[in-house]
Amino acid sequence: DVKVTQSSRYLVKRTGEKVFLECVQDMDHENMFWYRQDPGLGLRLIYFSYDVKMKEKGDIPEGYSVSREKKERFSLILESASTNQTSMYLCASSLAGRGYRPLHFGNGTRLTVT
C-alpha cells in the first residue's frame, strides 16, 4: 500500500521564520504535489513536481518555494512565514503516464503562524 508521510501533523511558527514542510512517499512515484486547504476555498495547488529537481508552479505559488532533491521527498518552503499562510497543507503523489493514475494523499500538516 502506498504511503505518503508528512513529517508534522501540527506546526506552530512565528512570523518571519523560515518553515520547511516535508513529504515522503514510498512508492517511487514521479509526481508529487503540495496543496493548501482553507475553509470555503477547498484545496488549491501550490506547486507540483514531475521529477527530481523539476517543478512547476500551481495556482497559488506566491510566498512558497519547493525542493525535490530525491525522488521520494518533496519539501515545501515558506521563506518568511506570514499569518496569511496559516492553513492546512496536504501533500500527494502519483505515478506519471497517460490517463488516470490515482493520487495518494498524506494526512496533512496544520500550520499556524503567529
Residues in touch with another protein (CB under 8 A) = 31, 33, 35, 39-45, 48, 50, 56, 58, 88, 90, 92, 94, 96, 98-103, 105, 107-108
Shortest spacing between CB 19 and another protein, in angstroms = 19
Residue closer to another protein, measured from CB, 9 or 14: 9
C-beta of residue 113 within 8 angstroms of C-beta of residue 83: yes
For another protein, the closer of residues 12 and 41 by Cβ is: 41
Instruction: Please state the closest distance from residue 96 (CB atom) to another protein, in A.
Output: 7
Element (DSSP H or E) covering residue 87: strand 87-94
The sign of the torsion formed by the CA atoms of 110, 85, 37, 4 equals: negative
CA dihedral in degrees (73, 76, 79, 84; nearest 10)?
Answer: -160
